[in-house]
Amino acid sequence: MISRRVLLAASPLLASPKILSAQTAWPNERPVEVIVLAAAGGGVDAMTRLVMPLIAQQIPGMRVVVLNRPGAGGQIGLEATFNAAGDGYTLGATTFPAHNAFPIERQVRYRPLDFTFICNVVEDANCFYVRAESPFKSLQDLVAAAKARPGQLSCGNTGIGSDDHLFALHFEELAGLQKMISVPFTGTAPLLPQLLGGNLDVAALNVYDALPLVREGKLRILAQAAARRAPDAPDTPTFRELGFDLVHGASRGILGPPNMPQQVTEKLVAAARVALASEEFKREAARVFMPLNPMFGSEYKAFAERSFADLQRLWRVRPWRE
């Protein structure tokens, strides 16, 4: 008779063929669904539809279906990804800092640092836009005006808790300014006419949101919150160059639910490395003005952890919701 102790000791080995079979079968059983937390046509959606087919090309048998699950600023899509089965057949596209901001400001059904982090793809730095006729010719002009008229300047953004809004709060703290009047919009499209019409003093946006209007001479960028000047905005100084240690933007990438099989995760990360290094990807990203900042696996998770800690600190001193 086989003892209970022997059976218990052997149980992992007895179970392992099923586990190995499931992992070996991936991704041939069915298409991999990639949940995008925003509507079709936006920056996260464009990133996903560009990079995921290239990742799939590196993994034999992998097919991809992109599903848009917008709602609650992206919370709905994140919850759908987090609570899906961790079998490799559901992935998600996310954007920071919103990914980390939601759990700080309200109850959500996900833990921001417990996802399986595959790769970051895009980082579009924040910046301050003004119309061409604005009296603010430099970041120093904006700071001087904000100090001379505390709490009176209007600053447009793409929503409370958006990367644009959080960027402005970070800058106000660094510069020792009272809060500017935050004017939230539902996106860049409704904001820009108000800035062009002179109804806003300044707008907090991403560098690539309105570059065509800069080239047309209708808008100017005062400074960009990037580690280095964007290739498409080489004449615009960074905040660091101007004495403010501020690097901030929208970081968009791919992740999965918690506890995905290590073998599947490693395949996805390896495929992402190849896809993002390909000339095909780089050419297409440049064509659609997609600023890149690849990060993979543990590096991507470490970035998420730093972002979360930074937002927790900001929430304590400058909460962005009442």
pLDDT tens-digit series, residues 39-53: 888 789 989 999 999
- 157 shares its domain with 231: yes
* Whether the predicted pLDDT of 13 surpasses 50: no
Same domain, 272 and 172: no
| Residue 281 within a domain | yes
The domain tally of the chain equals: 2
Question: Each residue of 222-251: pLDDT tens digit?
Answer: 999 999 999 899 999 999 999 999 999 999
The residues near 286 (Cβ < 8 Å, ≥ 6 apart) are none
| 12 falls within a domain | no
Same domain, 213 and 253: no
pLDDT above 50 for 19:
no
Is 7 a residue whose pLDDT tops 60? no
Secondary-structure breakdown of the chain: helix, strand, coil percentages, each rounded to the nearest 5? 45, 20, 35
Do 132 and 232 lie in a common domain?
yes
Residue among 23, 108, 25 at smallest CA distance from 73:
108
Determine, yes or no, domain membership for 214: yes
The mean per-residue pLDDT over the stretch 90-106 comes to 95
Residue 279 is assigned to a structural domain of this protein: yes
Confidence category of residue 23, pLDDT binned at 50, 70, 90: low
Sort 70 into a burial class: Cβ within 10 Å, 0-12 / 13-18 / 19+: middle
Q: Is the pLDDT of residue 27 over 90?
A: yes
pLDDT higher for 70 or 261? 261
Q: How far apart are CA 252 and CA 278, in angstroms?
A: 18
Q: Answer yes or no: is 84 within a domain.
A: yes
Give 68's contacts (C-beta < 8 A, 6+ positions apart).
36, 38, 39, 40, 45, 77
Determine, yes or no, domain membership for 65: yes
Is residue 264 domain-shared with residue 220, that is, in the same domain? Answer: no
Both tokens of residue 296?
């993979």
Q: Is residue 293 part of a domain?
A: yes
Residues 130 and 267 in one domain: no
With beta carbons less than 8 A apart as the criterion, state whether 78 and 102 touch: yes
Q: Quote the pLDDT of residue 322.
A: 61
Inform me whether the pLDDT recorded for 2 exceeds 80. Answer: no
Mean pLDDT of 116-125: 96
235 in the same domain as 137: yes
**Domain end point (choices 200, 220, 242):** 242
Residues 232 and 131 reside in one and the same domain: yes
Give me the CATH number covering residue 222: 3.40.190.10
Q: Which residue has the higher pLDDT, 289 or 130?
A: 130
> Do residues 34 and 174 share a domain?
no
For residue 103, whether the previous peptide bond is cis, meaning omega lies within 30 degrees of 0, is: no
For residue 96, give the CATH number of its domain.
Answer: 3.40.190.150
- On whether both 152 and 187 belong to a single domain, the answer is yes
∠ CA 159-128-322 to the nearest 5 degrees? 30
Packed helices 163-175 and 297-317: angle between N→C axes, nearest 10 degrees: 60
Statement: residue 270 has pLDDT above 50:
yes
Q: Is 194 helix (H, G, I), strand (E, B) or coil?
A: helix
Q: Where a domain ends, among 242, 262, 278?
A: 242
Q: How far apart are CA 180 and CA 101, in angstroms?
A: 20
Nearest to 170 by CA among 293, 317, 291, 301: 317
pLDDT at 275 over 80: yes
Domain range enclosing 189 = 124-242
- The answer, as to whether pTM is greater than 0.75, is yes
State yes or no: pLDDT of 87 exceeds 90.
yes
Q: How many CB atoms lie within 10 A of CB 257?
A: 22
Same domain, 131 and 222: yes
Structure tokens at 231: 């290739």
pLDDT at 153 over 50: yes
Bridge partners, 271 (sequence order) = none
User: What dihedral do alpha carbons 106, 110, 112, 118 form, nearest 10°?
Assistant: -150
Identify whether 17 is part of a domain. Answer: no
- Maximum alpha-carbon separation in the chain: 90
The answer to whether residues 171 and 114 belong to one domain is: no
Mean pLDDT estimate for the chain? 91
Give tens-digit pLDDT for 159-208: 888 899 999 999 999 999 999 999 998 788 889 999 999 999 999 999 98
Interaxial angle between packed helices 139-148 and 163-175, expressed in degrees from 0 to 180 and rounded to the nearest 10: 70
Reply yes or no on whether the pLDDT at 5 is more than 80. no
C-alpha distance from residue 162 to each of 210, 283, 286 (Å): 17, 29, 25
Q: Give the pLDDT mean for 57-61.
A: 97
- Answer with the one of 183, 213, 242 that is the final residue of a domain: 242
